[in-house]
Amino acid sequence: MKVQLHPWIAAVAVTACAFAGVPGSTSSPLGLLAAAAQDKDSFTAMPLDSGFGRMDLSDPAIPPEQIIQRMAAKESEFQDALDHYTYRRTARVQVLDDDNKTLGEYYEVDDVIFDSSGKRTERVVFAPASTLAEAGILMTPSDLQDIQHGYPFVLTKEEFPAYDIKYVGRQKVDEIDCYVFDVSPKTIEKKRRYLDGRIWVDATDLQIVVTNGRMVPDDTRKNNEDLHPPFMTWRQQVDGHYWFPVYTKGEGVLHFSGGHNFMAQDVHIRDIIKYTDYKQFGSTMKIIYEGKDITPPEKQK
């Protein structure tokens, strides 16, 4: 999120679920910028594990490194399956005042589908004109990137080497027994977004069921601030084998420090993303789970 050069916004309110960690080493000028951004208090957040069960801090029966390897393999299987599903994504981004009334809103409904050649694409179903500018806020490319790819976070075999992953303990999410890991990027590469937060992994299926944190880096340079709220994404079993993202809530008070011709201001942002109508695409798709073809007979050629 960026502010427009207006001095009149002052939206301050309570916030919701979040995590603020510090990424590891950096390897580029952008990486140094990102590290500085994380040292800056650019948002207000509440405790990470609110509403979850007691954390069991004892060592797991399986070494954490093995859990991570198996989880990454399962996440890769899930990503392969997800790549053959269509679904609807409904995104709402709001600027709120101190009474939680909407000052401006971005709203868009997209169908994530396949075109006639089988290429994955997105089709806009409904997109009224955004009123965020009326609240002095602008969506940025990184906001859209977070909505499309960051919030439904998947930690595949290809992605996990980019992260420092630390075992925290075991905790119940509703009635699901989960391993809990803190996740932060080892380095920050240009034009890439990373999760800095925490994941809850089903202790049986070894798939992520909850993601909580923020997407980094933020840009905290004067007159060019691009800040993002913390978020939490919940997954749900859709086909009996894989946990699909179904709901994301991001919320925080973003602290813009001000600059030339505009004052410092606190802006209350709320993101609500819903993922619905998951459907398998095509008749040649196969679902491979733990090395076995579990595709329903009618889905095979």
Q: What is the mean pLDDT of the chain?
A: 82
Give the helix/strand (H/E) hosting 107: strand 102-114
pLDDT at site 37: 38
In the predicted model, is pLDDT for residue 239 greater than 90?
no
- Tens of pLDDT, residue by residue over 250-277, are 999 999 887 666 678 899 999 999 999 9
C-alpha closest to that of 217 among 226, 204, 206: 226
The confidence band for 241, taking pLDDT boundaries of 50, 70 and 90, is confident
Query: When comparing pLDDT for 20 and 146, which is higher?
Result: 146
* Alpha carbons 104 and 119: distance in angstroms, whole number: 34
The conformation of residue 208, written as its DSSP 8-state character, comes to E
CB 265 within 8 A of CB 9: yes
* Alpha carbons 53 and 93: distance in angstroms, whole number: 30
pLDDT at site 38: 42
- Tens of pLDDT, residue by residue over 38-49, are 444 566 654 445
In order of 57, 72, 174, 259, 290, the CA distances from 205 in angstroms are 21, 12, 16, 49, 10
Query: When comparing pLDDT for 127 and 136, which is higher?
Result: 127
Pairing verdict, β 120-126 and 137-138: unpaired
Share of the chain above pLDDT 70, in %: 76
pTM of full prediction above 0.95: no
